[in-house]
Amino acid sequence: MSIDVGDTVQKFKVSADGGETVASTDLKGQKTVLYFYPKDDTSGCTLEAQNFRDAAKAFAKAKTRVIGVSKDSVASHDKFKAKYDLNFPLLSDDAGKICEAFGVWVKKSMYGREYMGIERATFLIDAKGVVRNVWHKVKVPGHVEEVLAAAQAL
């Protein structure tokens, strides 16, 4: 299962850092960047989070909020957010329901070993909850700038 451009975001409700709860209905009314990443405090995920953090003012000017999603625990998200001074919510999809709904829980391989994991992917969602852009198999360098340009054009 996956979500593509033109699809409406399916209903979900999960825990976020700081003891908050975020539901799909909370995404309506403002453009949202929902980005999926494999693991807190790893090199690529940290760089991606820092890039989104550093572009916060530009995203705010484009009337777009940023939300990160991984299967890490709320406690892990709280540490990650504090360590890197992240200025956006991190959702804990510990059951993997959002990852599966968005089609980012995929078979991966490293050093010849196959395993299931989160594909680095980003979804730009409009104020009505409709997906307008999708980036799969994201490469971190230059990605945030590309997402920002799409948000500004929406």
Phi, psi values for residue 13, rounded to 5°? -150, 120
Catalytic one among 45, 67, 121, 150? Answer: 45
Q: What is the DSSP string of 15-58?
A: EEGGG-EEEGGGGTTSEEEEEE-S-TTSHHHHHHHHHHHHTHHH
Vertex 58, ends 118 and 26: CA angle to 5°?
55
What CA–CA distance (Å, rounded) separates 56 from 78?
19
Tokens 């329901």 identify what position?
97
Task: Let me know if 45 is a catalytic residue.
Answer: yes
Catalytic (active-site) positions? 45
